[in-house]
Structures are given as structure tokens and as C-alpha cells.
């Protein structure tokens, strides 16, 4: 088994998304066969870029206040909220609060190399 605390995993800046970092908790580097688990943190007044891909996301909010925009819908998010984004839906995550907006994301391997 692998056990680690997310705080011990390096927070990598997203080069094209200022104020956004990602920690690769479990990935193909761990020989996980099916899907990866990542932890994202978005600073206040920052957001991921809106993008679309053919795989799904499952998200669980750990801390902060944010929002997700999927298609023409926006949903506010807080601790304990879960988001499921089906394949092919354009999506964007935004920090709407004054603290870090922190969430887990699960996504299939090997489609996870670009976000």
C-alpha cells in the first residue's frame, strides 16, 4: 500500500493557470491501474481555465468557497460538496472566497496527463 499526507506532496504550480497548484497524490507513477487522485488549490480571485475533454471528473471540496461553471450552469461550492462532471462537458473552477479553495479530483488514467 501507499500512505502519504497530501501536505507532503509537492504543490506544483500550473504554468498556464496563475494561482492554481496541483498535488499528484496517486497517479500512473504509482502504478495505479485505473484512475488518479489529485488535490488542487486555487488562490482567491483565481480560476482554472475553462476546458473540455472526453473523460469525466469527480470532485470533492475540502475547504474554501468556490464555484464550478459547467456549460451555462454555475454552482457555488463549499466544504463537503461533491461534483460530478460527465465526459465532454466544458468546465471551470473558480475561487469565490477569501481563503484557499481546495478540492480533490479523481480522473481516469491515462487520460489524465493534461488535466
The site string for a copy of itself over 71-90 (x = CB under 8 A, - otherwise) reads x-x-x-xx-xxxxxxxx-x-
- Using CB under 8 A as the binding rule, the residues of this chain from 7 to 36 that contact a copy of itself are 7, 25-26, 30-35
* Rounded (10°) CA dihedral 68, 72, 73, 76: 40
The whole-angstrom separation of Cα 40 and Cα 107 is 13
- Dihedral of CA 74/79/80/85: which sign? positive
Minimum distance from residue 13 beta carbon to a copy of itself (Å):
20
- Dihedral of CA 91/85/65/34: which sign? negative
Residue 46, interface with a copy of itself (CB under 8 A)?
A: no
**Which residues bind to a copy of itself, rule: CB under 8 A?**
1-7, 25-26, 30-35, 37, 55-56, 58, 60, 62, 68, 70-71, 73, 75, 77-78, 80-87, 89, 91, 104, 106, 108
Amino acid at each position: 500500500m501507499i500512505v502519504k499526507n497530501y501536505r507532503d506532496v509537492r504543490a506544483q504550480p500550473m504554468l498556464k493557470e496563475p494561482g492554481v497548484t496541483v498535488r499528484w497524490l496517486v497517479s500512473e507513477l504509482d502504478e495505479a491501474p485505473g484512475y488518479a487522485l489529485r488535490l488542487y488549490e486555487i488562490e482567491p480571485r483565481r480560476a482554472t481555465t475553462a476546458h473540455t475533454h472526453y473523460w469525466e471528473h469527480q470532485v470533492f471540496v475540502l475547504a474554501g468557497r468556490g464555484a464550478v461553471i459547467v456549460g451555462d450552469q454555475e454552482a457555488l461550492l463549499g466544504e463537503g460538496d461533491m461534483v460530478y462532471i460527465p465526459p465532454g462537458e466544458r468546465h471551470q473552477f473558480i475561487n469565490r472566497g477569501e481563503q484557499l479553495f481546495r478540492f480533490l479530483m479523481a480522473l481516469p488514467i491515462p487520460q489524465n496527463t493534461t488535466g
